């Protein structure tokens, strides 16, 4: 990254890339913050592989103070100069839709005696495990007894007590929902569900098979 204040680790997973950025920010010059912003903007404009998203985790020592993450008792730190510096960070979080993971009142810096300070270690566990995708079953519309489907749907539609005239939008959407439920129920009861073989042509049908045999 061209700076000793930043360490960046990129992890490739099946779901995309995870970018871990560890940064130290000098509150006087804010070089670490500016360099991190440049890296984020370049990667966002570069784009990634289609269908894969890049997630960012920003680990930091920002050395910035603001009521969003400091205790109210530290109001003496909320000087205009500090708030203006913190606003740069807040704008960056909004631009990249980043969320602060730690709750507001967790202390990151502990004052010790004699006059010195000690940073508290924060342990973060990142779960990169992948869930096994199970292809859901879907109705097999290619092999259907449509006579049975029509008879079943006709019986159910007789129970639909909608009038010929629907006078309000509320009634219209109510009966539309009832009709949708009846059609969905008929499909659930009368049409078998199957999985999708990886080699299956989704657009093929028995009618096309018959036409193919004629040729």
Residues 177 and 74 in one domain: no
- Asked if residues 74 and 95 have their Cβ atoms less than 8 Å apart, the reply is no
Burial letters for 1-38: b for 16+ Cβ neighbours within 10 Å, e otherwise? eeeebbeeeeeeeeeebbbbbbbbbebeebebbebbbe
Among residues 119, 154, 171, the one where a domain terminates is 119
pTM score:
0.46
| Mean pLDDT score, 86-93 | 86
| Mean pLDDT score, 25-42 | 77
Task: Give the pLDDT band (50/70/90) at residue 51.
Answer: very low
Q: How many domains does the chain have?
A: 2
Residues 12 and 114 in one domain: yes
Question: Using a CB cutoff of 8 Å and minimum separation of 24, what contacts does 128-136 make?
Answer: 128/11, 128/13, 128/18, 130/13, 130/14, 130/15, 135/195, 135/196
Q: Which helix (H) or strand (E) holds 175?
A: helix 169-190
DSSP 52: -
**Which pLDDT score is estimated for 183?**
93
| pLDDT(129) > 60 | yes
Residues 94 and 163 in one domain: no
- Quickly tell me which residue has 């990142």 as its tokens: 126
Q: Which domain holds residue 196?
A: 138-214
d(CA 60, CA 1): 15
Continuous H helices in 9-98: 31-46, 80-95
Task: Give the pLDDT band (50/70/90) at residue 150.
Answer: very high
Mean pLDDT of the chain: 78
**Which pLDDT score is estimated for 111?**
52
| pLDDT(117) > 70 | no
Q: Of 183 and 12, which is predicted with more confidence?
A: 183
Q: Is residue 132 part of a domain?
A: no
| pLDDT(16) > 80 | no
Q: Of 208 and 180, which is predicted with more confidence?
A: 180
Instruction: Please give the angle made by the CA atoms of 44, 49 and 52, to the nearest 5 degrees.
Output: 85
**Which pLDDT score is estimated for 152?**
92
| Mean pLDDT score, 169-187 | 89
Residues 103 and 171 in one domain: no
| pLDDT(172) > 80 | yes
Tell me the two tokens of residue 212: 């193919």
| Mean pLDDT score, 84-90 | 86
């Amino acid at each position: 990254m061209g700076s000793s204040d930043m360490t960046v680790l990129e992890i490739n997973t099946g779901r995309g890339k995870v970018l871990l950025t560890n940064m130290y920010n000098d509150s006087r010059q804010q070089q670490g913050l500016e360099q991190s912003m440049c890296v984020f903007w370049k990667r966002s404009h570069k784009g990634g592989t289609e269908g894969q998203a890049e997630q960012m985790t920003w680990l930091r020592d920002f050395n910035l103070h603001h009521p969003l993450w400091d205790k109210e008792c530290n109001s003496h730190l909320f000087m205009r100069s500090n708030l203006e510096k913190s606003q740069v960070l807040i704008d960056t979080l909004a631009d990249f839709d980043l969320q602060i993971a730690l709750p507001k009142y967790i202390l990151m810096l502990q004052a010790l005696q004699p006059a010195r300070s000690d940073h508290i270690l924060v342990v973060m566990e990142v779960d990169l495990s992948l869930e096994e995708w199970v292809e859901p079953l879907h109705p097999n519309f290619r092999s259907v007894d449509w006579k049975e489907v029509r008879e079943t749907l006709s019986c159910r539609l007789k129970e639909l007590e909608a009038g010929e005239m629907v006078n309000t939008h509320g009634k219209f959407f109510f009966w539309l929902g009832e009709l949708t439920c009846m059609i969905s129920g008929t499909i659930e009861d009368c049409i078998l569900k199957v999985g999708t073989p990886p080699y299956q042509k989704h657009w093929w049908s028995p009618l096309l098979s018959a036409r193919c045999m004629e040729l």
